[in-house]
Chain A
């Protein structure tokens, strides 16, 4: 006699059972704490040890921060920003900032991606500086720069401006910066002397402005050299290849500081005696450019190697000559691929410009050293070195971390580094 299986008492017909809430130890704050901090004996132990260490670090840090003497930094804020640049001519660096902000805005609107990320960072920085009472005029300049950045962004995003012209504007902005900061053009040997304001020699430039200038010039001027070296290294002409490999490995094998000292003392030796001696800024920039070119070449080579062979063959099949193949097919792809690497290199170079302080340039670190030795702070117990160097490190940190953050955001968006 067949019985209906469902009628037997051991089958639960009362289904489905109502869902229970997960236990409090698995979700919410408690659950998070459990999985992330106290998942086991070892993990709990680590958490407790870390907490104790953190307690000591944080209490000491807070104690120091509260007791620290920040007066020297506040008093010398102009020195940290632009060095000994004449007070009554500060409108010239301001003009450069306005120009760069506008270009940044336009580029962020036109190209988006990393330029937008960097533009957001620049905007935040300008906003912060406009709100901190650093001085009315300076705040107005910051606010105006911020406005130009935004206006530029809107124009770039709404109106189809030519990317080529924008690139040309960026390239021209570099010599323009020099002319504006100098207050004219001063090349007596070529018989060219023209000025719209009293000339400000480059030995008066300093602070963050000089640090930025060194890094930007280092990357910008090394770019063409680096691309040529990278192409040369992949060339199938043995002499060219040997030369490029030799140059790249030689430069990468020695510290920047040897090149800086070499630039300072030997660069004048290499020039004809009737050319006179180039200024310290030019010597340092030459050394930094030659240094940076070798590293840039390696980055670009990475991009070139990532181009599939089919692209070369397709270009050949289209009948493009060697130059056109590079110009229209290979380099556009390779250079796009290496943007994050070049941003990384720029960050490295930005930090490395601090070495210029060792050869007599008054960039950020050198300003810090000078501030520490000002007689006004001799009476401060323990000196002000800690405060000044922490501040200098903080300024470097804002820019380096900001740029690397912008670049990482882009990388994750493009899917680089994901496997």
Chain B
């Protein structure tokens, strides 16, 4: 037998690795399908036998049905709206706490991580204690501690003392002074948007210009300056052109409440979706004999309401507001009006997520900074850079390459962990989905919907962070 016959001799098909590979895969697929079919079949049988509202058929029709429950937070949601919209409100609530949480956790983690590598012994140890305590205890326990132990122990609304001009901390939530665009500042939102676009464009152009000139630096400062400039121009324009609509009128009911609006159809009464309410306009209420009984401001919906007036108001006057107004929370009976309010549920969830994730991010930042060669510190010190400049311009940009991949998974963890909202009753997507499932019995669909949503979040975050990672990655030959 020559060597040529040896190489051309094919093994029998059952010893051929290529055939074996295909056979194995077919077998694997069969087993998976068989198990899947078994599970699915059981499920269909059980659903048909059981008296769940889903009634065997896995239909998605329930999403269009009337929800019949209200949602206390986020975009306005009325019980007569559909389950589908309720779920959407839940998704928005998840994003609300997720986005704010990611930003704050990054700031906290970055600060704690830098403190951890600081050459100040005390600061470094303090940061270490923070990291170890919050990393080694379950998020759920921390969340319950903040919610039941801390926030619920704050004073009730009637007894809450103001924190200077900032607002109030009560066991029913935080009420904070806030700046709002008023009726005359409506256009500011568009100016803000325009400012962002102009800022990004200027930053990009400046960066290109610097690159061409071969000068080190980024366009961030130029972009930011352009952004501020656009905002200032917008504010001045709004201030110059500020005037109230000529058909401004008001409605006053029961002597203490009502609305200020632009009477578009001219019938003198406020018609929802026709007339335009006027937000954050200073108003003064006068009684029957001309004395001032109350003064204040309309709220974001153009409405106003006063409590415990000395006399019934019969007449109202308004003044033209500045484009931006500062609204302070004011105690009115058992509640506050004005400013913005943060519910205890949102505050507890946000606090827990930020403090917990911040501890993990601090460790990531520390590892990233430690991964930068010591020589880099010494070289920049030799060049005469200060510690801050070294950190900002030499170390952190290099550390980012090590930091970003694990940071991505921390962001995803934060969003996924926000599903613990159900423990404190914050209406995030998971909590809302449970309410929907409990009412409709659409168990399987509910779980599928939630999983699909979280997977979408994961995918989007991963894609974005991968793109960013590619940008900061070392350019290799």
Contact = CB atoms under 8 A, between A and B. Distances in A.
Contacts of A272: 42, 45
Nearest to A372: B148
B47 A269 contact: yes
Contact of A243 (B21, B28, B133, B416): B28
Nearest to B124: A36
A237 interface: yes
Given A355-B140, A396-B141, A43 B120 contact: yes
B406 interface: no
A358 B425 CA distance: 12
Interface stretch (B65-73, B272-280, B450-458): B450-458
Nearest to A400: B136
Interface centre among B49, B153, B371, B419 (most CB of A within 10 A): B419
Contact of A258 (B42, B135, B419): B419
A267 to B, nearest CB: 10
Contacts of A54: 122, 126
B158 interface: no
A354 B454 contact: no
B434 interface: yes
A286 to B, nearest CB: 13
A192 interface: no
A240 to B, nearest CB: 5
Given A365-B138, A401-B132, A270 B120 contact: no
Contacts of A261: 434, 447
Nearest to B126: A50
Chain A interface helix/strand/loop/mixed: helix
Contacts of B42: 269-273
Interface stretch (A7-15, A90-98, A381-389): A381-389
A404 B49 CA distance: 49
A24 interface: no
A355 B143 CA distance: 12
Contacts, number: 161
A266 B434 CA distance: 13
Nearest to A386: B149
A255 B137 contact: no
B139 interface: yes
B417 interface: yes
A393 B145 contact: yes
A266 B29 CA distance: 24
Interface string B147-176: 011101100000000000000000000000
A74 B439 CA distance: 41
Chain B interface helix/strand/loop/mixed: helix
A372 B153 CA distance: 14
A393 B137 contact: yes
A37 B121 contact: yes
Instruction: Give the interface size class of chain A.
Output: 35 or more
B421 to A, nearest CB: 10
A316 to B, nearest CB: 13
Given A269-B42, A372-B148, A240 B28 contact: yes
A238 B29 CA distance: 11
Interface residues of B, number: 58
Contacts of A351: 136-139
Interface in A227-282: 236-240, 243, 250, 252-255, 257-258, 261-262, 265-266, 268-273
Nearest to A390: B145
Contact of A50 (B122, B139, B142, B450): B122
B32 interface: yes
A36 B123 CA distance: 10
Given A262-B447, A269-B46, A389-B145, A239 B137 contact: no
Given A54-B126, A372-B148, A393 B454 contact: no
Nearest to A44: B120
A360 B121 CA distance: 45
B444 interface: yes
A214 B460 CA distance: 32
Contacts of A46: 118, 120, 122-123
Contacts of A270: 39, 42-43
A42 B29 contact: no
Contacts of A240: 24-25, 28
Contact of B138 (A47, A354, A369, A386): A354
B47 A389 contact: no
B430 interface: yes
Contacts of B430: 255, 257-258
B387 A42 contact: yes
A392 B21 CA distance: 52
Contacts of A36: 119-122
B451 A254 contact: yes
B187 interface: no
A396 B454 contact: no
Contacts of B136: 347, 351, 396-397, 400-401, 404
A171 to B, nearest CB: 25
A39 interface: yes
B312 interface: no
24 contacts: A36-B119, A36-B121, A50-B126, A237-B28, A239-B28, A243-B28, A252-B458, A254-B455, A255-B454, A258-B419, A258-B451, A258-B454, A265-B447, A266-B447, A270-B42, A365-B141, A386-B145, A386-B153, A389-B148, A389-B149, A393-B137, A393-B141, A396-B136, A396-B141
Closest 9 CB pairs of A and B: A36-B121, A386-B149, A400-B136, A354-B138, A255-B416, A351-B138, A239-B25, A389-B145, A385-B148
